[in-house]
């Protein structure tokens, strides 16, 4: 496994200066390490504020924990980053309790999209994505349960990797869903995402879902995709797409083919089950159970942001039979995916989101906006397979679009080789203006 950071890392003081200069506009950082104690290391990294960083409080994005004392120990991923010479320069903004895909936060303020602050960032790893997109840092760490790394990566124009469930331990991180939570990197480039992934992956006996580390993704990144079989997902995964996203995905498919991949059409056997969004239901119930003690206390319940509280209440209404039905649907999806991969398909290609970032004024209903932008991420994520969002250009309004690749369980290395092929082939220059404009 390579320990070497790809390229010259951003100077730590430059990252701190960028946070000071830009955070008033983007609101991506809610705890700046520079205000607490010096950060050792030479590679600046932001950590989503649902993971412990020794010496800093962990707020989970909630008013209930905003004055929490500093953590006494690092989360496993934080300790592993430090061991690779990372300087933890702060904690990133997030949707409260990691439970929403817009970037809304009633206590710390909404995180704002650097491409146009009138538009959402996506969430719940909103600050991690916005900080990378705006140039505060080149690497950040987020979490993904139903799309919380991949969605903001797509809407903010950065790379976001959701590893195989268990590949990166969740020790020292807020529990959202017992079987879907995954920590993953957001980065300015595929190579930097690989560096972060390789730094944090590996077995941890304290995490019951933990599995051993896989091969280094960085070591094989430039080996190409000659002979890869790429399944272009149709049916449900091609429905209700913004025309510019559909066109951009077609360009990505042609690019992969030009680099030696074989394209095949893959259509789900049960589009109706996917339209039901079954994973959405069991994750709602998981979160309701995890936050049950807070919801049972009237004062603490009232302190939870209204839209997050409403989503938890929806989870409380899920019946046992509905939960069981959603798990059965998930098993059917996993069986179908296994069949697709067993047939010789190496990777799947689809849009990360069906639309670019909605305007804040149109995203007040967090439930509906989350359903919209997580249309393609929720169920695939719950299956446990690794997937990555890679920038694929901008729409006519200048808002980023993301392509998603998914691979069989445990095959992050091949996944990132294809992500690198897209990044290299498109050769995009994504530098947001970080401004507020009328829409």
Which residues are marked as active site?
48, 124, 148
Q: What is 221-288 written as a DSSP string? A: TTS--TT-EEEEE-GGGGSS--HHHHHHHHHHHHHHHHTTPEEEEE--S-HHHHHTTHHHHHHHHHHH
Residues in the chain: 439
Neighbours of 38 (CB within 10 A): 9
Rounded Cα distance, 22 and 2, in Å:
32
CB proximity list for 152: less than 8 A, separation 6 or greater: 103, 121, 122, 123, 124, 125, 126, 128, 129, 130, 142, 160, 186
Query: Residue 98 carries which DSSP code?
Result: G
Q: Are 254 and 221 in contact (CB under 8 A)?
A: no
Rounded Cα distance, 221 and 420, in Å:
7
Cα 262 to Cα 22, 348, 417, 420, 424: the distances in Å are 43, 12, 15, 17, 18
Counting DSSP H helices and E strands in the chain, the numbers are: 15, 11
CB contact burial 228-255 (16+ within 10 A = b; e otherwise)? bbbbbbeebbbeebbebbeebbeebbeb
CB proximity list for 269: less than 8 A, separation 6 or greater: 336
Rounded Cα distance, 278 and 276, in Å:
6
Rounded Cα distance, 54 and 69, in Å:
10
Neighbours of 226 (CB within 10 A): 10
Q: Are 186 and 385 in contact (CB under 8 A)?
A: no
First vs last Cα of the chain: how many Å apart?
Answer: 46
Rounded Cα distance, 329 and 247, in Å:
31
Q: Could you identify the residue written with the tokens 């989870």?
A: 315
Going by C-alpha positions, the residue among 370, 377, 330 that lies closest to residue 351 is 377
């Amino acid at each position: 496994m390579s320990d070497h950071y790809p390229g010259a890392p951003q100077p730590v003081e430059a990252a701190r200066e960028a946070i000071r200069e830009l955070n008033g506009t983007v609101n991506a950082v809610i705890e700046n390490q520079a205000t607490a104690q010096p950060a050792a290391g030479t590679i600046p990294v932001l950590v989503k504020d649902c993971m412990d960083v020794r010496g800093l409080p962990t707020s989970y994005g909630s008013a209930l924990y905003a004055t929490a004392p500093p953590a006494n120990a690092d989360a496993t991923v934080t300790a592993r980053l430090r061991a690779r010479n990372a300087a933890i320069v702060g904690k990133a903004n997030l949707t409260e309790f990691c439970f929403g895909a817009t970037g809304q936060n009633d206590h710390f303020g909404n995180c704002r999209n650097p491409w146009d602050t009138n538009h959402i960032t996506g969430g719940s790893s909103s600050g991690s994505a916005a900080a990378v997109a705006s140039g505060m840092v080149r690497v950040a760490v987020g979490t993904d349960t139903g799309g919380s790394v991949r969605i903001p990566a797509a809407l903010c124009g950065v790379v976001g990797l959701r590893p195989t469930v268990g590949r990166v331990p969740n020790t020292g991180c807020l529990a959202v869903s017992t079987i879907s939570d995954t920590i993953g990197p957001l980065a300015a480039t595929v190579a930097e995402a690989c560096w972060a992934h390789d730094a944090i992956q590996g077995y941890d006996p304290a995490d019951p879902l933990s599995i051993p580390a896989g091969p280094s993704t960085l070591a094989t990144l430039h080996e190409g995709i000659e002979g890869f079989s790429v399944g272009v997902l149709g049916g449900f995964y091609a429905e209700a797409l913004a025309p510019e996203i559909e066109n951009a995905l077609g360009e990505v498919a042609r690019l992969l083919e030009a680099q030696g991949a074989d394209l095949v059409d893959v259509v789900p056997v049960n589009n109706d089950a996917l339209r039901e969004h079954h994973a959405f239901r069991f994750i709602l119930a998981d979160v309701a159970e995890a936050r049950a003690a807070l919801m049972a206390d009237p004062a603490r319940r009232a302190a939870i942001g209204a839209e997050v509280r409403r989503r938890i209440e929806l989870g409380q209404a899920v019946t046992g039979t509905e939960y069981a039905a959603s798990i059965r649907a998930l098993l059917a999806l996993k069986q179908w995916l296994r069949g697709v991969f067993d047939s010789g398909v190496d990777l799947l290609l689809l849009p990360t989101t069906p639309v670019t970032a909605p305007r804040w004024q149109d995203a007040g209903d967090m439930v509906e906006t989350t359903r919209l932008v997580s249309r393609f991420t929720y169920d695939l994520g719950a299956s446990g397979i690794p997937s990555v969002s890679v920038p694929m250009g901008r729409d006519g309004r200048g808002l980023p679009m993301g392509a998603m690749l998914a691979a069989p369980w445990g095959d992050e290395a091949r996944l990132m080789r294809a992500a690198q092929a897209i990044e290299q082939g498109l050769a995009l220059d994504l530098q947001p203006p970080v401004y507020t404009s009328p829409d």
